[in-house]
Amino acid sequence: MKQALINARILDPATGLDTVGGIIIEDGYISEFGPQVTAATAGTDLITDCGGKAVAPGLIDMRVKTGEPGSEHRETLETASRSAVSGGITSMVIMPDTDPAIDTPALVDYLKRAGQSHKVLNRIYPAGALTVGLAGEGMTELSLMKDAGAVLFCNADKALTSANLVRRALQYGRGVGAKIMLRPDEPSLSTGSMNASAFAARLGLRGLPSNAEWIGLERDLLLAEMTKSDIIVDQVTTGRSLDIANRHREAGNNIIVTAAAHSLFFNELDIGDGSHDPRKAYLTYCKVNPPFRAEEDRLALIEGLKNGSLNVIVSSHDPQPAEDKRLPFDEASFGAAGLETLLSALTTLAAEPHYELDLLTALAAVTCNPADALDLPLGRITEGAEADLVVFDPETPWKCLRENLSSRSGNSPFDGRLLTGKTVRTMVKGKWVFGPENGN
């Protein structure tokens, strides 16, 4: 089947392409693109007029949690995929902290096959557990799980306490070509519920100190240097963390640094001031781990995205049922829904002139950069590439309301926020999975 997208602003962050033209897709693959592709030259009657809106590679989200298997009331692969494509995400990496944990080749294969259901609208890539049962003790069979389809290995939200286990995992992962992602943290210090600061003290809440992130990061990067291993850093939140990573890069380490989109958008003040006014009370939808930090750290992450210190932005989608969020702040669960706001968070930041964030730079962090980090043949608009595309209007304003989200759990810190930039259509493997053609 041959089809064409015309009258589009074509954005390809991998090559810096930003031009007006069209894209021809044949049998699910891009066969031609550029200004020369028009309704007259397309050679097909199956044409989608994009009306001047932007077309970019489909987003690749490297950090998504669902409840499948074991806690499907939180989220299933089907509901997560529906939420993802409405936000332009065509590929997502599923974290291993399910019930049971994804810690064997059989469970990796199960998740991979479940992701191939016709009800799942986008690409599913399993992440394997780094330790058995995510207990932080015995290492899993990385080689066999990689062969079964695991694209990276991590211990989910738990930092490994044993430096020797980190060393062995990095060393073995290097030997078998497994991607290792580690959370930078010192768990013995991280016993609070929000950023450790004077603000937390005034609210009477226990703090999660930035120092724990720096200590864990220094250790892991020194071990990566010791073993001559590549490493993916799982969600930094501070400018100093980027400085640490840059220092180790200068020593020759290959380091991929990630951050959650909400960490670039919110600071610690957004959790509320604890007053009786419900608009200013503790907002548990803003309780995430790692937490929102100070404003200077938020701005440092945006600067890191601009200068290349920060490589990949993730949704950190972690759906939680309402009963686990409607609790006192200290008792509420960590986690935020983020699939439908990943693209809009970045386009909103790019639309603000004072950030001076180029749209192509922002898009690279959710397209070609994660594709390169995971060695996936995705994230680009090029001839011969599979047609995973998102059509979006970077200037459309919209208000995020949790009741309108497609996710099974609507615990979004963006609830009630005005955003700029919205997905219009999403295509996976040459097929529209979100848009007017799909009743959206």
pLDDT at 4: 98
pLDDT (tens digit per residue) in 95-135: 999 999 999 999 999 999 999 999 999 999 999 999 999 99
Give, as one character, the DSSP assignment of residue 276.
S
pLDDT (tens digit per residue) in 305-337: 999 999 999 999 999 998 999 999 999 999 999
pLDDT at 132: 98
pLDDT at 279: 65
% pLDDT > 90, the chain: 95
Report whether 349 contacts 403 (CB < 8 A).
no
User: Reduced to 3 states, what is the DSSP secondary structure of residue 273?
Assistant: coil
Assigned token pair, 294: 């100070």
Instruction: Using the predicted structure, report yes or no on whether residue 19 has a pLDDT greater than 90.
Output: yes
Taking every pair of Cα atoms in the chain, the longest distance, rounded to a whole number of angstroms, is 67
Instruction: Using the predicted structure, report yes or no on whether residue 187 has a pLDDT greater than 90.
Output: yes
State the pairing for strand pair 389-399/418-428.
antiparallel
> Beta strands of 289-374 (E only): which ranges?
312-314
**What Cα–Cα distance (Å) separates residue 91 from each residue in 56, 81, 176?**
14, 9, 24
pLDDT at 54: 98
pLDDT (tens digit per residue) in 219-261: 999 999 999 999 999 999 999 999 999 999 999 999 999 999 9
> What band does 273 get if pLDDT is binned at 50, 70 and 90?
confident
User: Reduced to 3 states, what is the DSSP secondary structure of residue 14?
Assistant: coil
Q: Could you tell me how many helices (H) and strands (E) the chain has, helices first?
A: 13, 18
Q: Averaged over 3-15, what is the pLDDT?
A: 98
- Averaged confidence pLDDT in the chain: 96
In sequence order, the 6+-apart residues with CB closer than 8 A to the CB of 111 are: 69, 94, 102, 124, 126
User: Reduced to 3 states, what is the DSSP secondary structure of residue 429?
Assistant: coil
Bridge partner residues of 182 (DSSP): 233
Q: What is the residue type of 379?
A: G
> What band does 341 get if pLDDT is binned at 50, 70 and 90?
very high
Bridge partner residues of 389 (DSSP): 57, 427
**What Cα–Cα distance (Å) separates residue 48 from each residue in 5, 22, 45, 51, 435?**
5, 10, 9, 9, 11
Closest to 96 measured CA to CA, from 145, 34, 35, 28: 145
Which burial class, exposed, middle or buried, applies to 1 when counting CB atoms under 10 A from its CB (0-12, 13-18, 19+)? exposed
Instruction: Please state the pTM of the whole predicted model.
Output: 0.97
The Cβ of residue 272 has, within 10 Å, a number of other Cβ atoms equal to 17
Length of the chain in residues, anyone?
A: 440
> For residues 262 and 315, what is the distance between their CA atoms, to the nearest angstrom?
8
Closest to 359 measured CA to CA, from 18, 7, 4: 18
Closest to 89 measured CA to CA, from 115, 138, 124: 124
Q: At what angle do helices 210-227 and 163-176 cross, to 10 degrees?
A: 50
- φ, ψ for residue 25, nearest 5 deg: -125, 125
> For residues 373 and 230, what is the distance between their CA atoms, to the nearest angstrom?
10
> For residues 172 and 266, what is the distance between their CA atoms, to the nearest angstrom?
37
Give all domains of the chain, ordered by start, each with its CATH number: 57-377+393-420 (3.20.20.140)
**CA-based R_g, the chain, Å:** 21
pLDDT at 439: 85
State the DSSP H helix or E strand holding residue 170, giving kind and residue range, or none if neither. Answer: helix 163-176
Q: Is the dihedral of CA 265, 269, 272, 277 positive or negative?
A: negative
pLDDT (tens digit per residue) in 42-93: 999 999 999 999 999 999 999 999 999 999 999 999 999 999 999 999 999 9
pLDDT at 252: 92
Report whether 300 contacts 241 (CB < 8 A).
no
Report whether 424 contacts 393 (CB < 8 A).
yes
Closest to 316 measured CA to CA, from 272, 361, 265: 265
State the pairing for strand pair 2-12/47-49.
parallel
pLDDT at 64: 98
